[in-house]
Amino acid sequence: MPDGPRFYQKKSLGQNFLTDRRVLSRIIARADLAPEDVLLEIGPGQGVLTRELLASPCAFVHSVEIDRGLEPFLADLPLRHPERFALHWGDALLFDYPSLDPAPLKVVANLPYNVTTPLLWRLLELLPTASEYIVMVQKEAAERLIAPPRTKARYPLGVTLEIMGHAQIVLSVPPSAFRPSPKVDSAVLRITLSGSHSHLPRNMLWRELLRRGFAQRRKKLSNNLKNWRPDIPWSERLQEGGIGENARAEELSASQWIALLGTLKPE
Ligand code: SAM
């Protein structure tokens, strides 16, 4: 019988805790932690990854956790590392990231899978200091995030990441690495942001253009856009952006989306 507090995992919060030590050490190796690194972890859970982050030479770790029921597993960490660890209780989807001091430079986390997309959008919007993400996500989510043009998995956040930097899968992780085991495969993604187009996630016209463009994937892009803004002469705009009249949203390269956005900007 393992010692320690009793805890019943909440499925609704994606509480599948990592138990495979080899996977853990591979994540740490992929994160390539250095003394200047200020880290943000979303969802420390029972602290298995948090403890490894704190055992690295990194300068500081911020962890944001929603479930107060996990406090008994995490309570010793602020006492052990008063100078280089801060535990923040709250919803990562609503968290005030600009208030974090020191400002995080890297995100290293085993994310709650049910909120991967809105969480990554929020981090990209509010945490411009972070230029690297090493994050465990559901395998299908990882595939969407790296999907190239003309693939079914292509979607707005993936297009945005392609423009902002580079995303790649650096580790595949089976369900058996977690307790309880999820029904899905997982993957660790490395996202490196180049610093270009860092304003895009905060640009509501960009977000809406992609959202509406991808709204009904089987329809032509021009039809989706006409439904959104019938006042805009989309055929001309697509032509200006070098995009064919019959194109579907998934076919566009990231630079074609940027060109299309450019045609919408006020003169
Ligand atoms: N890092 C731990 C590990 O690797 O074992 C736990 C990872 S578990 C997949 C996801 C964690 O995120 C859980 O601890 C869960 O309570 C937390 N979580 C879920 N939704 C959250 C939210 N909106 N804000 C902050 N934490 C959240």
Give the start-to-end residue ranges of the domains of the chain: 11-198, 203-262
pLDDT by residue (tens digit) across 198-253? Answer: 999 999 999 999 999 999 999 999 999 999 999 999 999 999 888 999 999 999 99
> How many whole angstroms from 10 Cα to the centroid of ligand 1?
10
Residue 18 confidence (pLDDT) above 60? yes
Instruction: Report the nearest atom of ligand 1 relative to the CA of 92.
Output: 24
How many C-alpha atoms does 224 have within 13 Å on its Cβ side?
Answer: 20
Which of 20, 21, 65 to mutate for ligand 1's pocket (most ligand atoms within 8 Å of CB)? 65
CATH top class, domain 203-262: mainly alpha
Residue 78 confidence (pLDDT) above 80? yes
Please report the pLDDT score of residue 267 as a whole number: 42
3-state secondary structure of 145: helix
Residue 266 confidence (pLDDT) above 90? no
pLDDT by residue (tens digit) across 132-180? Answer: 999 999 999 999 999 999 999 999 999 999 999 999 999 999 999 999 9
CATH fold of 11-198? Rossmann fold (3.40.50)
Please count the other Cβ atoms lying within 10 Å of the Cβ belonging to residue 247: 16
> How many whole angstroms from 200 Cα to the centroid of ligand 1?
27
Residue 1 — very low, low, confident or very high, per pLDDT cuts 50/70/90?
very low
- Show the CA angle centred on residue 16, arms to residues 186 and 123, nearest 5°: 70
Which of 48, 88, 110, 111 to mutate for ligand 1's pocket (most ligand atoms within 8 Å of CB)? 110
Cα Rg of the chain (Å, integer): 20
pTM, to two decimals: 0.96
> How many whole angstroms from 233 Cα to the centroid of ligand 1?
45
- Show the CA angle centred on residue 25, arms to residues 81 and 162, nearest 5°: 100
E strands, 4-93, where?
17-18, 38-42, 60-65, 85-89
Residues 13-30 as b/e (b if ≥16 CB within 10 A, e otherwise) read: bbbbbbeeeebbeebbee
Closest CA to 157 of 107, 211, 212: 211
> How many whole angstroms from 163 Cα to the centroid of ligand 1?
28
Instruction: Report the nearest atom of ligand 1 relative to the CA of 17.
Output: 5
